[in-house]
Amino acid sequence: MHTQILATEARPTPREFGVGARVTLAVMSSDYIEIILGALAETDATGLEIETDDVSTWIAGDEQRITEYLAELIAAASRGGEHVTASVLFSRGCPGEISCELPPGRTALVSEVPTVPPTGVTASAQWALYPLDNQGSPGREADHMRDIYEAIDRAKANGSYVRSDHYVTRLSGDVATILETVAGGWVLAGRTVAHVTTHVTLAVNSPSGVVR
Amino acid sequence: MHTQILATEARPTPREFGVGARVTLAVMSSDYIEIILGALAETDATGLEIETDDVSTWIAGDEQRITEYLAELIAAASRGGEHVTASVLFSRGCPGEISCELPPGRTALVSEVPTVPPTGVTASAQWALYPLDNQGSPGREADHMRDIYEAIDRAKANGSYVRSDHYVTRLSGDVATILETVAGGWVLAGRTVAHVTTHVTLAVNSPSGVVR
């Protein structure tokens, strides 16, 4: 019994660790209500806690399911051909929300990098990654610029990297590949830094075409 | 001459210091192109550098003008009564963009807190503030939670604070007051921390009404 408690303390669940996301999905069409509600209804929410308010939809669960869900949701809203933008925030390590108090000794949560099947929907995106504390973990000091460069190298390796721009990295490709890049950077930085957030804005079916 | 160079080094311009913003403006209407282009055309861009791409509009200049511009732009796009969302990123201290290299000794840029006249347009918003390094400045150590709590106290004082939520603080009120809160937190944290970003998503004319 005591052992079990210790094991739980050593590896909190994603929910206990504050793993989750928010997405603001915008559809540039007068039919936006049906398109957004339709996309929310048809996207598989197994294993997730989901709550929609007037600004965004909150999604909590493990990193793999959250990333799959977001890819499916954004693709579903875009398949009718309307111009769609999605602003996504992933967060980890802030279970007490704004107060951000982690139990002592819990400096980071090691998770698997999410992999998502292609959606067939292509987007342009602008991405920023924020490792927010400097605690580090045994054997590896936290270093936010190192984590960011590693995340960008992964984006170059999977082909989603386009270029750096003011305050963001520009990505393009399948919505799934873009979200793999973003969630992957977030999970990898989160292996040494407890509190990590990342923001990405995706644009699908832009009337100005894909800018590279 | 030598003195002049030193003075410049001690107080870089906002542009040299990487002060700027990005906004993704979404109008939930089939007339979105004219509404967005109309709002961009009618908003006074004096003193600003502005560039629109397929994902967002980039705005560089001083904090006061950037904040005024954003309030006017979002209000202009919303006055026809359509549902509008705006995802805004403010950034400072990263003039070399992703490489974030500040000249030695430039740990922070002290700027005035922006004030913006009311627009008459009301929004709900979700806000996050990210002071990104731990250098601090003489006499005051950087402490990202202290800066965040101070920013929230300001939001309570000006009436825009609603409550904390998962990963964000919920704000509501005139678009101008919301942006004053957000830009104010960003500028104040930026007095001791060189690299500070803040993200806010505003929703205007939401069909679900204002959720508090």
Q: How confident is the model at residue A136 (pLDDT cuts 50, 70, 90)?
A: low
Q: Is B59 helix (H, G, I), strand (E, B) or coil?
A: strand
C-alpha–C-alpha distance, residues B176 and B76, integer Å: 12
Beta strands in B74-208 (DSSP E): 84-92, 122-131, 161-165, 168-174, 196-204
- Tens digit of pLDDT for each residue in A71-81? 999 999 999 99
Q: Which residue of B has its CA nearest to A96?
A: B166
Residues of B in contact with A133 (CB under 8 A): 144
> Chain A partners of B209 at a C-beta cutoff of 8 Å?
54
For testing contact with chain A, the best of B167, B172, B199 (most A CBs within 10 A): B167
Q: What is the pTM of this model?
A: 0.91
Gap between the Cα atoms of B71 and B119, Å rounded:
7
Looking at chain A, the whole-number percentage of residues with pLDDT higher than 90 is: 66
Q: pLDDT in tens for each of the 212 residues of chain B?
A: 343 434 444 578 888 888 999 999 999 999 999 999 999 999 999 999 999 999 999 999 999 999 999 999 999 999 999 999 999 999 998 865 555 666 566 667 888 999 999 999 999 999 999 988 755 556 666 676 788 888 899 999 999 999 999 999 999 999 999 999 999 999 999 988 888 999 999 999 998 754 44
For residue A195, give the DSSP letter.
Answer: S
> What's the mean pLDDT when you consider all of chain A?
87
Distance in Å, alpha carbon of B6 to nearest chain A alpha carbon: 27
Q: What pLDDT sits at residue B209?
A: 59
Digit-coded pLDDT (tens) for A175-187: 999 999 999 999 9
Chain A interface disruption, residue of B82, B88, B94, B98, most A CBs within 10 A: B98
- C-beta separation of B136 from B107 below 8 A: yes
pLDDT of residue B210: 47
What is the reported pLDDT for B138?
61
Please determine, for residue A207, whether its predicted confidence score (pLDDT) is greater than 60.
yes
The Cα–Cα gap between A71 and A174 comes to 9
Listed residue (B208, B83, B185, B182) closest to B126, CA to CA? B182
Using CB atoms, which residue from B54, B128, B164 is nearest to A210? B54
The alpha carbon of residue A3 is apart from the nearest alpha carbon of chain B, in Å, by: 31
What are the chain B neighbours of A170 within 8 Å (beta carbons)?
Answer: 55
Residue matched to tokens 């660790």: A17
Determine, for residues A132 and B130 on separate chains, whether the beta-carbon distance falls below 8 Å: yes
Residue labelled with tokens 């069409």: A29
Interior angle at CA B156, CA B152 and CA B157, nearest 5: 115
Nearest to B24, CA basis, from B66, B70, B67, B64: B70
CB contact under 8 A, B152 and A89: no
Give DSSP secondary structure letters for A24-59.
Answer: EEEE-STTHHHHHHHHHHHS--TT-EEEE-SS-EEE
